[in-house]
């Protein structure tokens, strides 16, 4: 029964059916009360009150639904932002130390699972590139300067996709130019 009530088409049908039956009932009662104008006015007031209550209920239901959806989006955005920031900081710590121990690997695995839950497909794909660079660098258990630069460049590309996931497409912005600027900033910091 609950699924039926959640179905919008069914609810609209139910409202239309109730309205039609109510109209016919009130029309009959209005005709019966034809000799008593005061009774007709009371019926009209009652019909107006019922219509007002129905319209208000429908509007409040839609408003509540929209607010819940909006709140869910805000919570998801907060979770994405926190996870993305934690991931960038964690990779930065690994690169700064020049090595990765078991605890850092475990933390990276947890962050990977968090990304799998909330990140866009582009972010997940680009994170795979970052992991590939980390794997290549950790083959000899130490991260050299050139490997750090490659990892950070992959992280820079990752941040572009994270930015796109968080903010969406910004009107009047050239995506290629933004990515180029992010990579150029990273390259400037590596020099």
Q: What is the pLDDT of residue 2?
A: 53
pLDDT in tens, 62-72: 888 889 999 99
Distance CA(72)–CA(77), nearest Å, equals: 9
Q: How confident is the model at residue 6 (pLDDT cuts 50, 70, 90)?
A: low
More confident residue, 4 or 105: 105
- Per the structure block, which two tokens stand in for 81? 């932002």
Q: What is the pLDDT of residue 54?
A: 75
Residues 6+ apart with CB under 8 A from 125: 161
Rg of the chain in Å (alpha carbons):
30
Domain assignments of the chain as residue spans, ordered by start: 2-69, 76-190
Q: Residue 151 above 80 pLDDT? A: yes
Q: What is the pLDDT of residue 24?
A: 83
- Per the structure block, which two tokens stand in for 86? 């934690």
Q: How many CB atoms lie within 10 A of CB 155?
A: 23
Coil/strand/helix, residue 171: coil
Q: How confident is the model at residue 188 (pLDDT cuts 50, 70, 90)?
A: low
More confident residue, 172 or 60: 60
| Portion of the chain with pLDDT greater than 70, in percent | 88
More confident residue, 39 or 92: 92
CA angle 24, 30, 32 (to 5 degrees): 105
- Per the structure block, which two tokens stand in for 44? 């009209």
pLDDT in tens, 130-140: 999 998 888 88
Q: What CA–CA distances, in Å, run from 77 to 23, 71, 120, 163? A: 47, 10, 12, 11
Overall pTM surpassing 0.75 (yes/no): no
pLDDT in tens, 92-113: 999 888 888 888 889 989 999 9
Q: What is the pLDDT of residue 43?
A: 72
More confident residue, 92 or 183: 92
More confident residue, 50 or 137: 137
- Per the structure block, which two tokens stand in for 29? 């009662």
């Amino acid at each position: 029964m609950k699924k039926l009530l959640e179905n919008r088409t069914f609810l609209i049908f139910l409202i239309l059916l109730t309205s039609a039956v109510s109209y016919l009932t009130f029309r009959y009662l209005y005709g019966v009360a034809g000799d008593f104008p005061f009774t007709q006015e009371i019926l009209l007031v009652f019909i107006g009150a019922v219509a007002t209550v129905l319209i208000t209920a429908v509007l409040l239901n839609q408003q509540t639904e929209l607010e819940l959806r909006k709140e869910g989006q805000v919570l998801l955005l907060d979770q994405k932002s926190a996870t993305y920031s934690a991931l960038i900081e964690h990779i930065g710590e690994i690169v700064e130390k020049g090595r990765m121990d078991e605890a850092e690997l475990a933390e990276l695995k947890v962050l990977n699972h968090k990304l799998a839950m909330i990140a866009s497909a582009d972010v997940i794909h680009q994170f795979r590139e970052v992991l590939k660079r980390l794997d290549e660098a950790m083959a000899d258990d130490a991260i050299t300067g050139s490997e750090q630069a490659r990892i950070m460049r992959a992280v820079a590309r990752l941040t572009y996709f994270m930015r796109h996931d968080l903010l969406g497409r910004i009107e009047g912005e050239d995506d290629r130019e933004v990515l180029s600027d992010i990579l150029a900033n990273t390259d400037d910091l590596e020099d």
